Amino acid sequence: MTQRALLVIADIGGYTKFMRVHRVNLAHAQYVIAQLLEALIDGAEPRLKLAKLEGDAAFFYALAPEGKKRDEVASLAEMVASIRRAFLSRRLELETDRLCNCDSCTQAGQLKLKFVAHVGEVAFQKVKRYTELAGVDVIFVHRLLKNSVPVPEYALMSEAVFSKVDAFSTFGRETTEELEGLGNVTTYYVDLTEVARELTIPLEPSALRKLVAWFKMTVRSIPYFLGIKKSCDGFRNMGAVDPSLALPGSSLPPPSLGPP
């Protein structure tokens, strides 16, 4: 049995392809992305449920049965705004409290957030203790991640979604995307820098808070630094990493209590 659902993927990107391959860099990238993913989940609740974490992206859904007085699809703009506010706030926190000078930490403030959304029929499959979403529409929304949108921060929607989101109607730009195995489809995107100028509250730099943040990051990075866990596994936006190219630990600049 299938159910109608709004499907949303929030995807984090922005790390430069020229980031030095270093075990510490990769472990810290893992930590930074994990912090931002937590923020996405906080911003999505309670209207969107987390279906799955997919590397540097979060896949959400909301049941949207036909005939309801208020269609969940119409609330997409509010959902995007809430998630983006949480993302920007956590990104600013990571920037302000930065003590480490590795590439991953210094580039955290450059990370961007993009969304793809579709509405369609999904089936819920129980696999051991996990519930997976399945169906052509699940494939469709994931295919939207490979697109020709020319701006770094956007919400890309299928026509079925865009037609119901009044808040985006005056900002939408039509585009045609060729989706692998699905052919050409009409989509619409909005540039989030045009429709969501979020002003985050500045944080006062604090040496104590920087030390606490650095200690927390160091502890959580240990399994990745030691190779017990694989850093950045499944990240779409960092490319393949060859461990044989890892730089020595001495190549990292020392931590600094000065301003970022």
Determine the Cα–Cα distance for residues 32 and 233; give it in Å rounded to an integer: 14
Matching residue, tokens 């992206």: 57
What share of the chain has pLDDT > 70, as a percent? 76
Residue 174 φ then ψ, to 5°: -80, 140
**What would the pLDDT profile of 115-143 be if each residue is shown by its tens digit?**
999 999 999 988 777 788 999 999 999 99
C-alpha distances in Å from residue 105, one per residue of 7, 15, 30, 86, 259: 31, 10, 10, 19, 13
Residue 126 contacts residue 88 (beta carbons within 8 Å): no
Give the pLDDT score at 225: 62
Work out the pLDDT band at 28, boundaries 50, 70, 90.
Answer: confident
**What would the pLDDT profile of 151-167 be if each residue is shown by its tens digit?**
999 999 999 999 999 99
Whether pLDDT at 259 is above 60: no
213: alpha, beta or left, given left = phi > 0 and alpha = psi -120 to 50?
alpha
Q: List, in order, residues 6 or more apart from 55 with CB less than 8 Å away.
A: 232, 233, 234, 235, 236
Residue type for 6, please?
Answer: L
Determine the Cα–Cα distance for residues 150 and 168; give it in Å rounded to an integer: 18
**What size, in residues, is the chain?**
260
Q: List, in order, residues 6 or more apart from 12 with CB less than 8 Å away.
A: 33, 36, 37, 40, 56, 57, 87, 111, 112, 113, 237
Determine the Cα–Cα distance for residues 50 and 58; give it in Å rounded to an integer: 7
Measured torsion, CA atoms of residues 185, 177, 112, 197, in degrees rounded to the nearest 10: -60
Q: 2-236 belongs to which homologous superfamily? A: Nucleotide cyclase, GGDEF domain (3.30.70.1230)
